[in-house]
């Protein structure tokens, strides 16, 4: 029977049919648990996210789930709330349930901790965030490039004073984006970059903007470290009656609001999240099969600038529109929907 179920080569046609006949009649189903016991794997992957309800995690989860299905893996999703403690408990729990490997996509820098618990680094693939420790396997976006594209875009629109609302310092996603921002500004004279601290929350966006607007010389454009923070920025500007993009332009990262582009129209840099999810599974699965000769598997995906209404249009009020050439830079996508009015 076992040979028939597994489609083994050396089974006579007639026997095979007889067995399948019997399987039908008895409603027999092979026990996946017994198989797992013998093979030593459950074909289940753990996906660690900060919080499935925020940002782009649902998209990532979908991409991961789809690819995993193709490879016959189950995906167990776990929220870590970016808390060390919770992460530890969750990883422990997944391990105790017998997951074969992890895709670790939450944002904080807890790679040492997770690797220590899991034991085998070949069972962990980092996605979305680049681990600080060398030698890890990962699939990430090029955050530095992403920030460059965005900053460049704003400078092309004539902005010379740009604010950046950052995330926590232990999140490489944030530090890399800040770095790309600052590098790009430094390459261009007569530009000023302001960086405000934040924590990935919309509130940190509101707070950062509020402080700048209360200051003597606010920026004419604001970049938020991700789209959630950008929402906070937009809310605060809205509360104060500041027009976007006429008075201040706004942009974010991740394209987490793509489905609302008609209403919100936030300029952003899209991570290729479908590719990220797909590759994450592919690499992890090959790792679990020991197909990768012990080399660290590291992939960096190209981000894509998505220009929408919150930056589109005219140059900032203070600066004269010099050297403005909107759109069609190599990596950019113009996504103008309709002129915006009132929701």
53 binds DNA (CB under 7 A): no
293 binds a second copy (CB under 8 A): no
Site for a second copy in 121-180 (CB under 8 A): none
Nearer to DNA, 7 or 214 (CB): 7
Among positions 90, 106, 128, 184, the unique one binding a second copy when judged by CB under 8 A: 90
Nearer to DNA, 15 or 97 (CB): 15
Query: One symbol per residue from 183 to 202: x for binding DNA (CB under 7 A), - otherwise; what is it?
Result: --------------------
Among positions 21, 22, 37, 334, the unique one binding DNA when judged by CB under 7 A: 37
Q: Decide which of a second copy, DNA, none touches 186; Cβ closer than 5 to 8 Å per partner kind.
A: none
Write the burial class of residue 117 (CB in 10 Å: 0-12 exposed, 13-18 middle, 19+ buried): middle
Residues forming a β-bridge with 103: 47, 125
Q: Decide which of a second copy, DNA, none touches 166; Cβ closer than 5 to 8 Å per partner kind.
A: none
State the minimum distance, in angstroms, from the CB of residue 249 to a second copy: 12
State the minimum distance, in angstroms, from the CB of residue 3 to DNA: 6
Nearer to DNA, 4 or 301 (CB): 4
Pairing of β 137-141 and β 298-301: parallel
Per-residue HEC secondary structure of the chain comes to CHHHHCCCCCCCHHHHHHHHHHHHHHCCCCCHHHHHHHHCCCCEEEEEECCCCCCCHHHHHHHHHHHHHHCCCEEEEEECCCCHHHHHHHHHHHHHHCCCEEEECCCCCCHHHHHHHHCCHHHEEEECCCCCCCCCEEEEECHHHHHHHHHHHHHHCCCCEEEEECCCCCCHHHHHHHHHHHHHHHCCCCCEEEEECCCCCHHHHHHHHHHHHCCCCCCCEEEECCHHHHHHHHHHHHHCCCCCCCCCEEEEECCCCHHHCCCCCCEEEECCHHHHHHHHHHHHHHHHCCCCCCCCCEEEECCEEEECCCCCCCCCCCCCCCCCCCCCCCCEEECCCCCCCCC
Among positions 7, 12, 179, 210, the unique one binding DNA when judged by CB under 7 A: 12
Nearer to DNA, 12 or 24 (CB): 12
248 binds a second copy (CB under 8 A): no
23 binds DNA (CB under 7 A): no
Among positions 26, 34, 216, 293, the unique one binding DNA when judged by CB under 7 A: 34
35 binds DNA (CB under 7 A): yes
Q: Decide which of a second copy, DNA, none touches 6; Cβ closer than 5 to 8 Å per partner kind.
A: DNA
The residue ranges that bind a second copy (CB under 8 A) are 27, 29-34, 36-37, 40, 42-44, 51-54, 57-59, 61-62, 65-66, 69, 72, 74-79, 90, 93-99, 119, 202, 228, 231, 234-235, 238-239, 241, 243-244, 257, 259-260, 262-265, 309-310, 338, 340-343
């Amino acid at each position: 029977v076992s040979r028939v179920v597994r489609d083994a080569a050396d089974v006579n046609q007639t026997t095979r049919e007889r067995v399948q006949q019997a399987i039908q009649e008895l409603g027999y189903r092979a026990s996946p648990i017994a198989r797992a016991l013998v093979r030593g794997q459950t074909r289940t992957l753990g996906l660690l996210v900060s919080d499935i309800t925020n940002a782009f995690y649902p998209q990532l989860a979908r991409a991961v789930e789809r690819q995993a299905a193709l490879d016959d893996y189950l995906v167990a999703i776990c929220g870590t709330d970016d808390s060390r403690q919770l992460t530890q408990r969750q990883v422990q729990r997944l391990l105790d349930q017998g997951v074969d490997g992890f895709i670790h996509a939450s944002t904080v820098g807890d790679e040492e901790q997770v690797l220590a618990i899991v034991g085998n680094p070949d069972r962990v693939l980092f996605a979305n965030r680049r681990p600080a420790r060398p030698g890890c396997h990962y699939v990430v976006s090029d955050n530095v490039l992403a920030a460059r594209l965005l900053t460049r875009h704003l400078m092309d629109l004539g902005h010379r004073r740009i604010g950046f609302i950052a995330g926590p310092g232990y999140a490489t996603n944030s530090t890399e984006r800040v770095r790309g921002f600052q590098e790009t500004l430094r390459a261009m004279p007569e530009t000023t970059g302001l960086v405000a601290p934040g924590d990935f929350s919309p509130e940190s966006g509101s707070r950062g903007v509020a402080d700048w607007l209360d200051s003597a010389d606010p920026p004419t454009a604001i970049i938020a470290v991700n789209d959630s923070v950008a929402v906070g920025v937009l809310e605060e500007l809205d509360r104060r009656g500041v027009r976007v993009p006429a008075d201040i332009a706004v942009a974010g990262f991740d394209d987490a609001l793509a489905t609302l582009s008609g209403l919100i129209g936030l300029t952003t840099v899209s991570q290729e999240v479908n590719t990220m999810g797909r590759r994450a599974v592919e690499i992890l699965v090959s790792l679990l099969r020991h197909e990768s000769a012990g080399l660290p598997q590291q992939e960096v995906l190209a981000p894509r600038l998505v220009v929408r209404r919150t930056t589109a249009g005219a140059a900032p009020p203070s600066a004269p529109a010099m050297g403005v050439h909107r759109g069609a830079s190599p990596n950019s996508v113009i996504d103008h929907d309709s002129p915006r009015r009132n929701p």
